[in-house]
Structure 1
Amino acid sequence: MNGSAMENSDSYKDFLDLDDLYGDTTDGPNTVVDRVVQLCSKTNVNRFSASFIPVFYYVNFLLSYVGNGLVLLIIYKFEKLHTVTNIFLLNLVVSNLLFASSLPFWATYHLDEWIFGVVMCKMVSSAYFVGYYSSILFLTLMTFDRYLAVVHAVAAYNSRKKTYAVGMSAAVWCVSILASLKELVFTNVRKDHEQGLMCEETGYDVAVMNHWRQVSYYQQFFAFFLLPFLVLMFCYVSITIRIVNTRMKEKGRSVKLIFIIIFTYFACWTPYNTVILLQAIRISSVRDGKDPESCGESDMLDNALYVTRNVAYLYCCVSPVFYTFVGKKFQSHFKRLLAKKMPCLRRRMSLTSTASQRTPHTTNVNSS
């Protein structure tokens, strides 16, 4: 063990010693239990997560850094940050990179145990949720901005300025940080005699942690899924109606892209958030004594949470690519970027450009 590892170990040695000394105090002399409490073994769940989660986390991490890094490179080389769309897009990329930066830590953790210390446990947990929440909000904000630009173009022209974009972006980061404070407070490192060092919500009474876990589930379902989904549906339905009523040359393609965006969002996020809602309901039923703890049901929900969460996180990581490369402008930037590295592609693009200039155009369509 190297010096830095020893320091990390010493930094929470006292905490672990106290945990070993006092043990589990949730069933101490001051606790009155009037029913049989069943403690579920999570061996099967942990074995499933150890074989399944690390692979998905590493794949999500690589896709996120490749995809978001490519968008970031195109913004740097070909775009300027004086437009509202590009400011929102840059913040979305940053939020996704922040979220993805936590995934290798969690992948390593699920392979063995938490080896990074108490401070990193809190920081990685917080970065994980700040990036996740802000990504959802920036996707919603970008959709609402598209709605203003298309449906209320004249009225929104004077309000869609750089200060508006900066102010809204700052508000999103503040909301995301506040929504993630629970992780900073409750997450800590504890020693489990079978699984080693665990980075999870610990150090408080079980009832208190279950209460805040339930609040977090409801917060995530309503504030970070249902509300954004309703906003997306309203905005894209309004945009579709406006496009259909215009004489836009490629309105069929635009409507198809809108349908794909809504369908993909719904397909990726609905299963995960449905499981989140079921988890919250289960905690409430067990806490109120309406339904005894079922280990089979608990394991099934935990496994479903692992699978559906990774599908949702995959969408979160690749969303900037999905939102930008459907537009002709970013497609053109990407081709120019490749042309610098591939001379054969440069010659082909030159021939295509010459041919298009010789072809008369009857309609001028602005690309997104």
Structure 2
Amino acid sequence: MSNSVEIHHSSSTMDFSTRSYDDEPEIYICPKDESVKFGAAAVPFFYYTVFTFSLLGNCLILFLLLKYEKIKTVTNLFILNLVISDILFTISLPFQAFYHSNEWVFGNSMCKVVSSAFFIGFFSCILFLTVMTIDRYMAVVHAVSAARTRKLIYVYVASIAIWVTSFVSTIPKFVLYGTRIDSSAGILCEETGYSAEKIDTWKQFGYYQQLTMFFLFPLIVILYCYTLIIVKLFYTKMHNKDKAVKLIFVIVLAFFICWTPYNVVILIKLSQGDTCNDYIDNAYYICRNIAHLHCCINPFFYTFVGTKFRRHLSTLFGTNCWSMFRRSSSSSRTTEYSPQTIYE
């Protein structure tokens, strides 16, 4: 998240104020001027764009949910939590965009708060996506038992567990992140206040955490659940089952395309240490942005593909533009399953 040359300073205590290290010995681990210039050019525009569309889209989903839906259902509570996590992630993006093209001007406290909000939203969004996949698997593959077990307490426990896990996973970021003054880059918001060895250790821990908890585990769950959902659909009397399979394929493919390159680059950075390869650093910027994009678009896969939210849009904006959706909705009600019911 830093837009500066990576410079670590040795310090045994942490100061919660902006500090200058110009008079202290500096350890230049790796100058990254070219990658910093690339990030300053590519990241701000992308973040501002994602912020605009994500905020508008998620707020629209939230509005439709609160105005037209009964909140206290299993699916709607999961959607509500997913939208909240995406909004939490999204509101940090303008700060990050400005920082990548300038220095950090928002103060030390905001450095910690914005960084924490960024990662809490980032982590919780992936976990809610995973739990919602499990919920869909239970509703389709184990419909009889799910009717007994899919109670509100199940949503509350799962949601609390996800938020607690996301907060705990963000504690190292909150502790390590702070402001410091660099003679060439100005005020930075990054890991600081500890020795280079400790900071590097926590960075390695964060990379492994990202790979295992927030990529491999969700990927395995998503592949397993959707594979069994597809098998179940082929053994049911379902109208337009090919559309449901295509929809599932798009969702799985979107997750794989958005998250795999980012985690491959992380794996490369783990294997090579603090590399000075500008190509890898530039790839990290690009792949990280693609992963961030998925956090903002995934609520649409779980809302607007369903007939309920499309009917709400018809009510909100008028029926002419949404007549084809109404036709598809009416036809789907005559079948045992439809592509939309998997996500309602």
Query: Is the shorter-chain TM-score for this pair beyond 0.5, marking a shared fold?
Result: yes
Rounded to whole Å, the distance in 1 between the matches of 2:335 and 2:205 is: 54
What letter is aligned with 2:320?
L
Question: Separation in 1 of the partners of 2:34 and 2:245?
Answer: 45
Matches within 5 A, 1:162-173: 162-173=152-163
Q: Which residue of 1 aligns with 2:320?
A: 345
Deviations 1:125-168 (A, max 9, x none): 11100000000000001000000001111111121111110111
1:301-340 superposed matches below 5 A:
301-339=280-318
C-alpha separation in 2, matches of 1:233 and 1:124: 33
State whether structure 2 residue 184 is matched by structure 1 residue 194.
yes
Number of matched pairs: 323
CA contact (8 A) 2:22 2:183 kept: no
Q: Give 3-state SS (helix, strand or coil) of 2:31's partner.
A: coil
**Alpha-carbon shift at residue 349 of structure 1 (Å):** 4.9
Q: CA deviation at 1:21?
A: 3.7
Counterpart CA distance in 2 for 1:190 and 1:199 is 7
Give 3-state SS (helix, strand or coil) of 1:158's partner: helix
Report the Cα offset of residue 88 of structure 1: 0.6
1:276 aligns with 2:266: yes
Could you say what secondary structure the match of 1:315 adopts? Answer: helix
2:230 to 229, 232, 240: 240
1:151-230 equivalences in 2 (<5 Å): 151-230=141-220
Whole-Å Cα distance in 2 between the matches of residues 321 and 87 of structure 1? Answer: 15
Aligned-pair distance for 1:73? 1.2
Counterpart for residue 46 of structure 1 = 36
Which deviates more, 316-325 or 216-225? 316-325
Aligned equivalents of 2:18, 2:117: Cα separation in 1: 23
Residue 249 of structure 1 corresponds to: 239
Cα distance in 2 for residues equivalent to 1:41 and 1:212: 20
Which residue does 2:93 correspond to in 1?
A: 103
Alignment partners' CA distance in 2, 1:349 and 1:256: 22
Query: 1:16 aligned to 19, 22, 34, which one?
Result: 19
* Rounded Cα–Cα distance in structure 2 between residues aligned with 1:13 and 1:223: 30
Query: Which residue pairs with 1:8 in the alignment?
Result: none
Find out whether 1:83 has 2:83 as its counterpart: no
Amino acid at match of 1:179: S
Distance 1:13 1:215, change over 3 A: closer
Question: Which deviates further from its counterpart, 79-88 or 321-330?
Answer: 321-330
Considering only aligned residues, what root-mean-square deviation do their CA atoms show, in Å? 2.3
How has the CA–CA distance of structure 1 residues 41 and 162 changed in structure 2, closer, same or farther, with 3 Å as cutoff?
same
Check the 8 A contact 2:18/2:107 in 1, yes or no: no
When Rg is computed on C-alpha atoms for both structures, the one with the higher figure is 1
Q: 1:185 to 1:117 in 2, by over 3 A?
A: same
TM-score normalised by L of structure 1: 0.83
Cα displacement (A) at 1:328: 2.0
| Aligned partners of 2:17 and 2:179 also within 8 Å | no
- Between the aligned residues of both structures, percent identity stands at 45
Unaligned runs of 5+ in 2: 1-14
Length-normalised TM-score, structure 2: 0.88
User: 8 Å contact 2:130–2:222 — kept in the other structure?
Assistant: yes
1:47-80 residue CA offsets vs partner (Å, 9 max, x unmatched): 1111110001101111110111111111112111
Unmatched tracts of structure 1, length 5 or more: 1-11, 27-37, 287-293
The 1:365/1:237 distance shift into structure 2, 3 A limit, reads closer
CA contact (8 A) 2:55 2:87 kept: yes
